Amino acid sequence: MSDMNDFNRAIIEEFRANDGKVGGPFEGAPVLLLTATGAKSGERRTTPVVYLQDGDRMVIFASKGGAPNNPGWYHNLRPNPSATVEVGSEKVDVDAVVTEGEERERLFRRQAEIFPQFADYEQKTTRQIPVVALERKG
């Protein structure tokens, strides 16, 4: 787990130092920093996440690389849907809404067309990968 924490910390530092631009495995991908409140700890935690722009919303995918379980940020957003995202140099308060049905399918398919690895993640797991829309407050 500390390797992932170190990886995320490095991405977060690079993101903030370069107005939202990062290299490595995320180079060229739209990345945001999601800060959510821990479901158990109550602590604010920041995670870099690839996103899809959908109108005024930013959409994130709880793929966790096709792992059998959902990522921690997803578990944190369920009880605490109020979060903050950083996109470029902008910081925005959002509400997280888990999409369902046709909307979820449309958004996931669009992401998989842009980034085919998302289709691979879906094939690696038996769970349905949650698709979460982040809607700007106010």
The domain limits of the chain are 2-136
pLDDT at 24: 87
Q: Exposure of 119 by Cβ count < 10 A (0-12 exposed, 13-18 middle, 19+ buried)?
A: middle
pLDDT at 2: 67
Bridge partners for 77 per DSSP:
none
38 vs 64: CA distance, rounded Å: 17
CATH class of 2-136: mainly beta
CA 137 from chain centre, in angstroms, equals 18
Residues in the chain: 138
DSSP state of 26: G
State which residues of the chain have pLDDT below 70.
1-2
